[in-house]
A and B are shown apart, each in its own frame.
Chain A
Amino acid sequence: MAPEQFEERRKLADLSFLIQGITFTVYSDGRGTERLFPFDLIPRIIPNSEWRRIDRGLTQRVLALNLFLQDIYGKQCILRDRKISRSLVYSCAHFHREMVGVEVPKGIFTHICGIDLVRDSKTGEFLVLEDNVRTPSGISYVLENRLVMTRIFPEVFQACEVLPLSHYPAELCRILRSLSPRGEDDAQIVLLSPGIYNSAYFEHSFLAQQMGIELVEGRDLIVDGGIVYTKTIHGLKRVDVIYRRVDDEFLDSLTFRPDSLLGVPGLMGAYRAGNVALANAVGNGVADDKAIYAYVPEFIRYYLGEEPILQTVDTYVCAKATDLAYVLDHMSELVVKAVGESGGYGMLMGPTADRHTIQQFRNRVSANPRNYIAQPVIPLSRVPSYDPSSRRLAGRHVDLRPYCLFDGQKVTIVPGGLTRVALQRDSLVVNSSQGGGSKDTWILRGEG
């Protein structure tokens, strides 16, 4: 294809995203501007054999994480067996005592995980970077990217056999329906969104529409007598399942942050009483804590009796004295992260930071070691991407976020996931809030 033709199709894709309003909101300029999530037309291709290994590794990980959450809010065997220290777990900012002893529907905590993988460009191996078991976002971009690609390059899809992923919403809906405390037939399912000003609002409305469920905000719901209702034009209507995209801390102003207007007062009471199901479960944040992350391989061995298929990044947990000493000595070689943050915030990139910043981090880490971990810098792999300025292909750093659905028995992972790409040359930052873009990810049918 000639560069002009390619450029033309690229513009077609951009226009398609704009008209459909597939945008995210950036708050840095104070006005909450809507921006297009930059889309790179060159797909990333992962061989089927490699994908099958990733699939097995993720399945194993999701099962172990779910068992860990069940255990930690239940019998706490892993603490008694001293595989992880009690104080490390209890000191997680997102460990919620309110969840101890709560029997969640069908024992599922991690209905949806968006596990971030990176490929080490030295070893070529995929490593797990983050688990994202709270309210991971991005699946709508995966689905829409594919839709746009099939519209713009229909001929390529005819030639290559790319595994489809459009069954995601139906599978998610099936899982949500199965959680209903009143049986599945007339289950009322809603998606709870913080509203139009949330950066992932597009995704919330997209998923609600795809699943044919009601998109609600906190103000649309009310709890009366331990039952959750929606406010409709013809009166109150009972809700059975809430796919919530509101963080734990904002869910219920009676239990968590009293200043939250995004949630529903009394919701936790209804949840604990088993009158309404929430997905994902409350309290999952403990498994997202970056210090806990270091123990997930141990969870896999402990709960499943298996060796981890996917490796994790070596992690120094500053809460441990030996690790802390090492981190303080080698700060300029490491990536230092705050345990509770995500999205590239609260992070130090040792090798590129100036001396002053490193000193600042050293002080912070010494003052509150529990709040930090450190990892070696992973040289991210690069894949061919289109560079609009030179109109040529160039290597750009990428990561991969597959989406895993868990129904209590089996884990379903749509083939591929969100490939985020750092569109600036040499940049390692792929976060959409910081200039990253995305690509369609292809897993081809058959060998290869």
Chain B
Amino acid sequence: MLSRIAESLFWLARYIERAEDTARILDVNYQMLLEQSQDSYHLRWEPLIVMAGEEQLFRRLYSEVNAENVFEFLAFRHDNPGSIVQCIAKARENARTIRDRISREMWEDINGFYHMVSRFSPRDELVAGPHRFCDKIKFGTHRFHGVTDATSPHDEGWQFLRVGWSLERAEMTSRLVDVQYQNLLDELPTVGAPDNHQWMAVLRSVGAFEAYHRQYHSSIEPEKVAGMLILNSQHPRSIRFSTTEVQSGLRAISGTGQGSYANEAERLAGKVVERLSYDRIEEIFKQGLHSYLHELSQMFGLMGRDIARNYFYYAMVA
């Protein structure tokens, strides 16, 4: 497979995933806000900007952190490279450069998705609130996964897609847990009285609310929520699950067997999977959740860079 095509597949999947994750976070936070008192209003929106990693840009564009501004910024702004519409436009642009390599159904799905999203009027959506919009985005990305799974051969190209969306998901979930937890610590006088609503929102944003209840049969406890999002081996949005997916994808590409690695990205993925398989949530909290997640984030960054170096960039050895 051409390096350029592998790279486009990887980014196509990452952008689709980023759009979905942003939509999920936006939707859930907005819904939660409806049940909240007015005084904590501003605090609810700050973390979203931090999570998107575009704090400076936001401050340049807006004077106030409020629901409308955050919604507009994360969903529609063309000058925010991480906004949902921009992610989908970039996903589509990547798909367009490789449309001969993806199934016709995939291309038509992404292209149709893009045209649907571009037809949204930010003005109308701002009035209607993010739920309708975010729901359509989630539906669109789920359909993308379904169409992809059902119509493209699960070959090398598919592995690059898989690595792309899994790596993005692992990063987003770790950022989500980190930022939300940080925020709670800042806000609450005692850690002993956790804000259940906030954690419920976190669970909902990754679609794990029902699964949590099935597993723990208990009220929402921050440690258990964090444990589920970080360490659960079965939930498709947990960090452990996503990283295992990255590892499997990378191994399928290089043809490496269990217990060894062909490149730095595989080594790091293996290392993270090992840690997440054997660490316990109590140990993680002992070390400090923030520093633990920060380390993970750095590893994900390094993996991305090494994948690019191994497979995408061509240094001709003369």
A205 sits at the interface (CB 8 A)? yes
B291 — which chain A residues lie within 8 A by C-beta? none
A233 sits at the interface (CB 8 A)? yes
Within 8 A of B (CB), among A5-21: 18-21
Are B2 and A214 within 8 A (Cβ)? yes
Nearest to B114 among chain A residues (CB) is A21
Within 8 A of A (CB), among B199-243: none
CA distance A205 to B96 in the complex (A): 9
Are A232 and B3 within 8 A (Cβ)? yes
A168 sits at the interface (CB 8 A)? no
Residue from A19, A222, A224 within 8 A of B115 (CB atoms): A19
Least distance between A218 CB and chain B CB atoms (Å): 11
Are B115 and A217 within 8 A (Cβ)? no
Are A220 and B2 within 8 A (Cβ)? yes
Interface stretch among B64-72, B100-108, B165-173?
B100-108
Are B107 and A233 within 8 A (Cβ)? no
Are A217 and B4 within 8 A (Cβ)? yes
Are B1 and A233 within 8 A (Cβ)? yes
Within 8 A of A (CB), among B108-126: 108, 111-112, 115
A209 sits at the interface (CB 8 A)? yes
A128 — which chain B residues lie within 8 A by C-beta? none
The residue among B2, B104, B156 with the most chain A CB atoms within 10 A of its own CB is B2
B148-159 Cβ-contact flags toward A at 8 Å (1 or 0): 000000001000
B67-104 Cβ-contact flags toward A at 8 Å (1 or 0): 00000000000000000000000000100111111001
User: Interface size on B (CB < 8 Å)?
Assistant: 25
A39 sits at the interface (CB 8 A)? no
The residue among A208, A217, A219, A231 with the most chain B CB atoms within 10 A of its own CB is A231
A419 sits at the interface (CB 8 A)? no
A361 sits at the interface (CB 8 A)? no
B278 sits at the interface (CB 8 A)? no
CA distance A159 to B110 in the complex (A): 36
A180-213 Cβ-contact flags toward B at 8 Å (1 or 0): 0000000000000001100001001110110000
Are A18 and B115 within 8 A (Cβ)? yes
Nearest to A216 among chain B residues (CB) is B2
Nearest to B96 among chain A residues (CB) is A196
Interface residues on A, range: 20 to 34
Are A233 and B3 within 8 A (Cβ)? yes
Least distance between B114 CB and chain A CB atoms (Å): 9
B4 — which chain A residues lie within 8 A by C-beta? 217, 219-220, 231
CA distance A205 to B312 in the complex (A): 21
Contact A233/B253 with A21-B99, A217-B4 known, Cβ cut-off 8 Å = yes
Contact A231/B314 with A18-B115, A196-B97, A219-B4 known, Cβ cut-off 8 Å = yes
CA distance A217 to B93 in the complex (A): 16
Are B2 and A20 within 8 A (Cβ)? no
A215 sits at the interface (CB 8 A)? yes
The residue among B4, B253, B312 with the most chain A CB atoms within 10 A of its own CB is B4
A230 sits at the interface (CB 8 A)? yes
Contact A232/B115 with A21-B107, A196-B96, A206-B100 known, Cβ cut-off 8 Å = no
Are B100 and A231 within 8 A (Cβ)? no
B316 sits at the interface (CB 8 A)? yes
Contact A232/B99 with A19-B111, A19-B112 known, Cβ cut-off 8 Å = no
CA distance A80 to B98 in the complex (A): 49
B285 sits at the interface (CB 8 A)? no
B99 — which chain A residues lie within 8 A by C-beta? 21, 205, 209
Within 8 A of B (CB), among A207-248: 208-209, 214-217, 219-220, 222, 224, 230-234
Top-10 shortest CB links A-B: A209-B100, A205-B100, A208-B100, A233-B311, A231-B314, A205-B99, A215-B100, A21-B111, A19-B112, A196-B97
Measured CB to CB, the residues of A under 8 A from B are: 18-21, 195-196, 201, 204-206, 208-209, 214-217, 219-220, 222, 224, 230-234
Query: Can you list 13 pairs linking A and B with CB atoms under 8 Å apart?
Result: A20-B107, A21-B108, A195-B97, A201-B96, A205-B99, A206-B100, A217-B4, A219-B4, A230-B2, A231-B314, A232-B3, A233-B253, A234-B1
Q: A20-B104, A209-B100 are in contact. List 20 more A-B contacts (CB 8 A).
A: A19-B111, A20-B111, A21-B108, A195-B97, A196-B93, A196-B96, A205-B99, A205-B100, A206-B100, A209-B99, A214-B2, A222-B314, A224-B316, A230-B2, A231-B4, A231-B314, A233-B1, A233-B310, A233-B311, A234-B1
